[in-house]
Amino acid sequence: MRQRLNVASKPSCYVTIPDALCEVGRFGRKTNNRYHRYEPGAKRRTSDPEVHSIIGGECAKKGISAHALGEEEIVDRAIAGINNEADKVIEEGTVSRPSDIDVALIHGYGFPRYCGYPVFWAQQADTDEIY
C-alpha cells in the first residue's frame, strides 16, 4: 500500500522511516520484525540495533539530528500541536468561539486544568514565542 502512493504528492515533512523498514522486509509483528524484535514465546518486545541504524540513515538524509528533549520542550511541542489543530478548527468555522476548544479539551479530553487553557494561552502569547 505504501509504495502505491504517489511520491510527488508526499509533503516535504513526509516520514520515510516506515517505507525504509518495509524495503528491508520489516513488515511487523507477524513477520517477527518491524520497529522491535519479538522473540518466540516472549510477550515483550526488544530494541533492535538495525532499526536504530535505519532510522539514523533516514534522519541523516533529511538533515535531522537527534537530541534529547527536556520536559518543558515536550510540553511546548504538545501544546503547539494542540494549538495548530485548534487554529484549523477555528478557520473551518467548526466552533462558535475559540474558548469552546478550551472547554472541550478540559471537560471532554481531560486536559489538566492546572496547566492552563491552550487556546487562551496562545491568544495571550507573543507570536514569536509560539513559533
pLDDT at position 110: 85
Considering the domain architecture, whether residues 42 and 89 belong to the same structural domain is answered as: no
* Beta-carbon contacts of residue 116 (< 8 Å; ≥ 6 apart): none
Domain residues for the domain of 98 are 71-130
Considering the domain architecture, whether residues 11 and 49 belong to the same structural domain is answered as: yes
Is 35 within a domain? Answer: yes
39 membership: H or E segment, kind and range: none
Number of domains composing the chain: 2
> Alpha helix locations (H) across 62-98?
71-92
**Per-residue pLDDT tens for 49-64?**
999 999 999 999 988 8
pTM, entire model? 0.55
C-alpha span between 113 and 104 (Å, rounded): 11
C-alpha span between 122 and 130 (Å, rounded): 7
Considering the domain architecture, whether residues 8 and 48 belong to the same structural domain is answered as: yes
Is 107 within a domain? Answer: yes
Q: Helix, strand, coil: what percent of the chain each, to 5?
A: 55, 5, 35
